[in-house]
Every structure is written in structure tokens, then in C-alpha cells.
Structure 1
Amino acid sequence: MEFFVISATIIIFLFTGGGLILNNSLTNILRNQSEEIGEVKVRVNSIPTHQLIKGEADSIQISLKQWQPRPHIRVELLELETDRIGIDLDQIRKLNADNWQTVLKKPLNMAWRTILTENDLNNLIKSPQVEEMISKVTGDASSGFELLELNLNLKGNNRIAMETKVKLPIRGEEILDVNLEFNLGVIKGHSIIISDIEGTLNNRRLSSSLLQGFVDNINNQLSWRNLEDSGITMRLLQFNINEDTLEIAGFIHLQPSKKD
């Protein structure tokens, strides 16, 4: 999720400097805000052009290749297209990651498409954000299990293999090899669901009932509905796992903060 909020922040930064936006200026902004970036394409549609000075545009299109906004977050491709956008220029100087809603004069809607490589995904699961999500699923070390290592292998046909090393409280300090393989799908655009799971523990097949109980617990938490309270609504329209790449597309709606 973070790179979508980062993308919205970059779009907001387009309106700094009195709305005098050039492609070279955007490229510099993107490079300064990113760890690494490859090709950048941007198109700002604004008729009449002087509405940019008021923080408004008809639409903005951005395409980024090999974009790494944070050390553990990288995408092979990210394409964004907004509908009409309105920015409060007076609030931009106060902008940070926690108050982005105050900068929006109206809701911001973005259609997006992204491609992540297998390597991108394996780096992503080492990010603090994903580690926090995993810890919520696994529980603390005394009641849940401790995840020591996790690697993903994209199999194609929306199937993923997962190799992990874990510790269980009942097994003390023993390190266990857990290998899982499963399908990923989307329900109603807002939830990821795991299905058709099979796996082994130290090369011994795990029971289907045990795995299903584990999956049910995770599926209950894989929804973007919980982001809506913070002003973010996201829906997936396309979700394809190919060999070595994950391709997803959808839309995101960012709600401005309520005015007192």
C-alpha cells in the first residue's frame, strides 16, 4: 500500500512552485524522493492551463519503471492515472506522510497497474510494514509461532510456493522447515483469499484440516476494508501470478480530511 500513498504525495508535489510544471521538474522530484528509479513518463492534462496555479488539473498520467521509493519497496512497473484533482497549495508546506489528507481539496481517484518481480516480492516481505502484518497473523512468540525466514516462488496460474523456517513454542528452540504451496485469488475486489493449500513440515505432509484452519485465520485479515477508516479505499480489478512476476491492477480512492 505504501507506494500508492507515496505516489499520491508525488502527484501533490507537482503543484509546488506555483503550478509551473515541466517533465524535467517531475523527474527531479521523483529521483529526489526515491531510492532508485528507471524510466519516468508524465502527462499533465489541464485546460485552461492557469488552473494549475490554483492547484487543479483535469488529470495526470504517470508511468514509472524500476521504481524503488523505499529500501524494501520496489516495483518493476507502476502506471497511474488520476481523474480531476484539486490540491490545497497552502497546505503543501506542512505535508508529511501522516497528514496527506489535509492537502486534498476533493477526493483523489487513481487507476493503477503494477508489475512486481519475484525478487521485488521477496524484498517486500522483509519491509517493516509487511513484518508488522505477519506478526499480527502469527501472534507473539509465547502463543503463536516465530517466523525466522520466508521466501516466495511464483509458480504461475495464480499459484505461489512458500519456503519458511519457524519456531513453535511447543518445540522449544528447534527450527522447523515448513513448505507451503497455494493459490491466491480476489473476492469482490477488496480481499485476497488463499485456497487449495498443501504443505510439508520437515518433509512430512501436513494434514489438510490443520492447513485449512491456518488459512482461515489469515483470510479473515487479508482485506483492504480496514483502510477505509483512514480515508483509503482500494479495489483490485486484475490479479495475475505468472512465473517470476505478479501483475495487479485496480483503483484507489483517497478521501480528504473532514473540515471542521
Structure 2
Amino acid sequence: MSLFTGGGLILNNSLTNIISNNSEEVGNVKVRVNSIPTHQLIKGEADSIQISLKQWQPRPQIRVELLELETDRIGVNLGEIRELKRDNWQNILKKPLNMGWRTIMTEKDINNLIKSPQAQSVITKFSGDSSDFELLDLSVNLQPNNRVGIDTQLKLPTRGEEILNVSLEFNLELIKGHTLKISDIKGTLNDRQLSSKLLQGFVDNINNELSLRNLEKSGITVRLLRLNILEDNVEIAGFVNLQPSIP
């Protein structure tokens, strides 16, 4: 019972150590578990949990400048945590979980993330058949007023070993909290202007995949409340609702 006394101080420190020990690097960790009465923690329940992480690197090539999380009332099945896998996370929840979050990533963080295996699999999904081209390099250039630049180098089977330099610039808009939309796109191929019709067809294909509602069939509802792109970082804030598995 001493674990749950003193306002959960020992538990807060334990969770802080767990995060630190399972991260590649973290600059600062703050954890607060709010639970009255404290003995409800034994049942896997708490009034709320607040976490703030600065300069957090959970995995190689994945880093955020800031991540803040705050939950509503939480209830989890402690016995299921050891069996946690990617496809059975809903078994842990006793009740729906609501969570607000805010994150800041620098331009350098984003470009490192792009090179991670997780990001490469997403890029492959959006790109379609990878046999149509070979992506050699990709980098992001953040600009004020929610504008993004992307520079790529690639090869096409029809162009042999020639390296093609493609540069794109576009606005990234947040629509009704659940959809990201690319608009006002411009681009060049080897410093030659690309046709607006070609670019619009490319954008239409991507925009169809940028709805967060696609996650809802998996029991995850995500809404974005803020998208703020500056010259050196991007700030995103929103909330998540996670649904438990249906018996």
C-alpha cells in the first residue's frame, strides 16, 4: 500500500523511471497521477494522468521537442498489460479513454523521422507501386503560415540512371478537425515548372487518405484542435478517444 500513499508520489516516480529507462533519450519527464481515494489504483483506476516530456526520443530517428498528455478518468485491466500487443490494445481498457495532447516537432526531428522504417512504410503506402520509381532522398522544409516545402530525388525506370530532382510547395489546411488538406500546390522537376493539372491529380490521391476518420473503424477517434507550422517547427494539438473491446 505504500506505493499508493503520499498522493501517489512513489507511483509518479516509478512511471517517470519507466519512461526514462525505455527511451533512447529524454531531457525532462514530469508525471502526475491523480487518484482519490488512492487505493483505487490497485484496481487500475485513476481520476487522471498528466505527462510532460521534453526532448523525448523514444526510438532511434523518432524525437519530439515536446509532448504533453492529459487523460480523463482512466480504467485499465492490469492483468492484460503484460500481454499487450499492437492488435489487442483494446483489451486493456475497462472503459473509454479520453486524452488531450500537444506536441512540437522541429524541422530536424521531422526529417529524421522521415528516414525511420515506420515513416518509410507510410510513404510507400501513399506512393503506390514502388516499382514505378526509386525514391533516393526526401526532405521537408517548414515555412511560415502553414506552408510546407518538400525536396525529393528519385529515379524512374523509363529514365535509366538519371536522377530527377522534384520540389513541391503547398499549404496544409486543417478541415473540421478531422481532415488534413493539401492546397495551393506548386512544383518543379529539374527546375522546370510542373503542370498544375498533373499536380492536382497527385494531390487528389493523397487528400483522399488524409482523413483521421479512417482510424475510427479501429476504435480510435482523433480530432485536431490546432495545426501551426512555423519556419523551424510544427505544433499540433488535439484529443483522442479510445474505445475498449466489445465483449
Fold shared by both chains (TM-score > 0.5): yes
Kindly indicate whether the alpha-carbon contact (under 8 Å) linking 1:162 and 1:180 is maintained by their aligned counterparts in 2: yes
Distance, in Å, in 2 between the alignment partners of 1:141 and 1:26 is 42
Q: Could you tell me which residue of structure 2 aligns to residue 12 of structure 1?
A: none
Is 1:228 the counterpart of 2:209 in the alignment? no
Give 1:234-245 correspondences, 5 Å limit: 234-245=222-233
- Please, which of 104, 123, 128 is the counterpart of residue 134 of structure 1? 123
Secondary structure of 1:131's partner? helix
Counterpart contact for 1:164–1:178, Cα < 8 Å: yes
Contact conserved, 1:122 with 1:151, CA < 8 A, in 2? yes
Cα distance per residue 1:205-244 (max 9 Å; x no partner): 1111111111111111112222222221111010000111
- Which of 30, 39, 45 is matched with 2:34 structurally? 45
Q: 4+ residue stretches of structure 1 with deviation over 6 A?
A: 17-20
Name structure 2 gaps, 5 residues minimum: none
**Number of positions where the alignment pairs a residue of Structure 1 with one of Structure 2:** 242
Whole-Å separation in 1 of the counterparts to 2:98 and 2:148 = 31
Q: Distance in 1 between matches of 2:245 and 2:61?
A: 29
Q: Which residue of 2 aligns with 1:193?
A: 181
Match of 1:32 in 2: 21
CA gap 1:33/1:231 in 2 versus in 1, 3 angstroms: farther
**Is 1:84–2:69 an aligned residue pair?**
no
- What is the identity percentage for the equivalent residue pairs of Structure 1 and Structure 2? 72
Quote how far apart the aligned CAs of 1:18 are: 8.1
Unmatched segments (≥5 aa) in structure 1: 1-16
Cα offset, 1:96, TM superposition: 3.1
Match of 1:182 in 2: 170
Residue 112 of structure 2: aligned partner: 123
TM superposition score normalised by structure 1: 0.88
Q: For each residue in 1:140-176, what CA deviation from the matched residue of structure 2 results, as whole angstroms up to 9, or x when unmatched?
A: 234x333211011111110111110012233233210
Moved more, 181-190 or 237-246: 181-190
Match of 1:173 in 2: 161
**For residues 130 and 104 of structure 2, what CA distance do their matches in structure 1 show?**
34
How far did residue 93 of structure 1 move? 2.4
